[in-house]
Amino acid sequence: MNHFLAIADLSTVEFNQVLTTAKKLKTAWRKGGNKPILKNKTLGMVFQKPSLRTRVSFDMAMLHLGGQALYLSPNEIGLGQRESVADVARVLSRYVDGIMARVFAHAHVTELAQYSRVPVINGLSDQEHPCQAMADALTIVERFGKLKGLRVVFLGDGNNVARSLMFACALGGANFVCASPAGYALDEASVAKARALAQSSGGSVELSEDPQAAARDADALYTDVWASMGQEAQAAARARIFPPYQINAALVARAKPTAIVLHCLPAHRGAEITDEVMDGPHSVVFEQAENRLHAQKAIVAILMGDRKPKVKRKT
């Protein structure tokens, strides 16, 4: 990998490499710590959106591996406003060894990668949330020992989190179901691409408008907020449409007795998920949140460890 922008960009080998590396680094960390393989390396972190998990997990990932992270707020960068995205990439990549960007428009992170001399990581965009999906996959594999053959059900908006999870399941051979209200399903192009990947892995991709049917015999139930950052104006309308897709005790009862419940956080308790479920025996929400650290540690280790600077063709 030269960059980490979208799960859909990964090969099966690359996807499994991130998972395997994450498991090894997590095991080593719990046994006493990681080797300083990123000593003297710096990750520049560009934020257009605020974050708890993304900022702290990347910061600590670099610290655990012997490097450091540099936080750059929206006021300091102003991607595409104070100066062009291309110029930000040209300048920043001469100062740091890697760039993580948490942005609104996916085009911004792809343009950063196009003009950067160092690896670029998508910390979130409107199109994908690939770091979250790697943490999700790691969490599922830790519980079941595999992705292949599992029924993984996402309930709610067909958003960036759902999209990245779908591609992760397609690469891993899982049977992915996304249950959304009419008009809020995942886009056809992404579904077609995921189905093509699933054909090779033995998995499947299904869309549904019936949350009850989707949850039946599920191994994993997953949800996210009904209105993401930037969709605040739609929140009231979505709050009237999405309640049937809430993960509650009755819905969990339709899944397998061994099923796990996931949420990428932050959660609106009482909306897309109930307290009873989020704090209950099926929940792995906080293990999942911890795994952002370990999955991202693997990503920076692979991209930034013992790499020569890229020679930039465009100037």
Domain architecture of the chain: domains with CATH: 7-128+292-304 (3.40.50.1370), 132-290 (3.40.50.1370)
Q: What percent of the chain has pLDDT over 90?
A: 89
- 292 carries an active-site annotation: yes
Question: Taking a C-beta distance cutoff of 8 angstroms, is the pair 22, 137 a contact?
Answer: no
Has residue 310 got a pLDDT over 80? no
CA–CA gap between residue 85 and residue 133 (Å, rounded): 26
* Long-range contacts from 285-288, C-beta under 8 angstroms, 24+ separation: 285/261, 287/139, 287/142, 288/135, 288/136, 288/139, 288/262, 288/263, 288/264
- 102 carries an active-site annotation: yes
pLDDT tens per residue across span 5-59? 999 999 999 999 999 999 999 999 999 999 999 999 999 999 998 899 999 999 9
- Among candidate residues 3, 90, 102, 108, the one labeled active-site is 102
What rounded mean pLDDT belongs to the chain? 95
- 195 carries an active-site annotation: no
Region 262-290 average pLDDT: 98
pLDDT tens per residue across span 146-168? 999 999 999 999 999 999 999 99
- 264 carries an active-site annotation: yes
pLDDT tier, 307 (very low <50, low <70, confident <90, very high otherwise):
low
pLDDT tens per residue across span 191-200? 999 999 999 9
- Among candidate residues 3, 53, 129, 151, the one labeled active-site is 129
Find residue 269's DSSP bridge partners.
273
Instruction: Report the DSSP pairing between strands 175-179 and 204-208.
Output: parallel
- Among candidate residues 151, 224, 263, 294, the one labeled active-site is 224
- 263 carries an active-site annotation: no
Q: What percent of the chain has pLDDT over 70?
A: 97
What is the spatial order of strands in the sheet that 42-47 belongs to?
Answer: 68-72, 42-47, 98-102, 120-124
- 224 carries an active-site annotation: yes
- Among candidate residues 126, 151, 264, 296, the one labeled active-site is 264
pLDDT tier, 233 (very low <50, low <70, confident <90, very high otherwise):
confident
Has residue 81 got a pLDDT over 80? no
- Among candidate residues 53, 90, 127, 132, the one labeled active-site is 132
